[in-house]
Amino acid sequence: MKNVQTVLGEVAPSDLGFVLPHEHVFLDIYDITLNSNMIFSDRVVARRELEIYKEKGGNTIIDQTVHGLNADPEALRDVAADVGINIVAGTGFYWERFHPPWLADMSEADIVRLMVSDLTVGFAGTDVRAGVIGEIGTHHREISPAEERVIRACSQTQQEVGVPIATHSLFTRIGMAQAQAFESAGADLDKLVIGHVDTNPDVDYHEELLQFGVWIAYDSIGQLDKQSDERRADAIVELIGRGYRDRILLSTDVGKRAALHAYGGNGYDHTITNFLPLLAERGLSQVEIDHLTKTNPQTLFSFPS
């Protein structure tokens, strides 16, 4: 079985333990949003937040901070080493509003070469390698031509390197359009995660995605402006009852300062501390909870050698 690339080196999928598959540790999109809540640059804060996550039982963070969001791969490596957890870094591009200006001047082949290099050599100027493609964003009602180009490049990169792809799909049924676009571009649907599906409360839509062959991520847990955690828990139990336990991922998508303990939020441990008890209250066993939080992400990151 192929190992998973973390910012500190390779680990076996079975060593990932408890995984949050969609988070952000360092980013800075103030220049676009003009919102200081969108600046994550304090290593001291990041270290303590991740320590709390580890203390509560967390082992791995999948950091989906891509080009254009001002990721800091070397800072990821340093805090992962300090805290003693696995961090997998993402490569790719968010939705068009956040595309770096230089992307428009690149050919699709150039974009593929960049991402392949991120995954196999290291981010520019570093030896820190990515281990996932994502989060790959689109507008929430349609996919723009620039975003379609990124989807094609990501699909080609996946074919060359063999890593999961994860998307950003808010509020609408745009996740189905994303899944169809990735399929048309040759992506492996068995290693494609449609993200943020829990921002759309329609469980039948979630089932349609699962029937299409992709994974779905309930990865906005704790973001109560999008849906209550109680409704998320109800929906997950419903989907498990329909037979889809093996294709659901759970995460919090911490991407704002206000989500961190240091600024009054619930931190990366919110899923463990506050959400998993809601699943238990609804009758899920510890075996089923472990399947969602450990087995499923380990399976997603398992590729033949």
Q: What are the pLDDT tens digits along the chain (305 aa)? A: 799 999 999 999 999 999 999 999 999 999 999 999 999 999 999 999 999 999 999 999 999 999 999 999 999 999 999 999 999 999 999 999 999 999 999 999 999 999 999 999 999 999 999 999 999 999 999 999 999 999 999 999 999 999 999 999 999 999 999 999 999 999 999 999 999 999 999 999 999 999 999 999 999 999 999 999 999 999 999 999 999 999 999 999 999 999 999 999 999 999 999 999 999 999 999 999 999 999 999 999 999 87
User: What's the token pair of residue 277?
Assistant: 């008890």
pLDDT at site 305: 75
Residues recorded for the chain? 305
pLDDT at site 157: 98
141 belongs to a structural domain = yes
15 belongs to a structural domain = yes
* Cβ atoms of 71 and 28 closer than 8 Å: no
- CA gap 233, 223 in Å, rounded: 13
Task: Report how many domains make up the chain.
Answer: 1
158 belongs to a structural domain = yes
pLDDT at site 270: 98
- CA gap 81, 166 in Å, rounded: 25
Domain of residue 71, residue span: 4-300
- CA gap 155, 214 in Å, rounded: 14
209 belongs to a structural domain = yes
305 belongs to a structural domain = no
35 belongs to a structural domain = yes
At 193, which CATH number? 3.20.20.140
pLDDT at site 132: 98
196 belongs to a structural domain = yes
**DSSP assignment of 147-187, as one string?**
HHHHHHHHHHHHHHH---EEEE--SSSHHHHHHHHHHHTT-
195 belongs to a structural domain = yes
pLDDT at site 1: 77
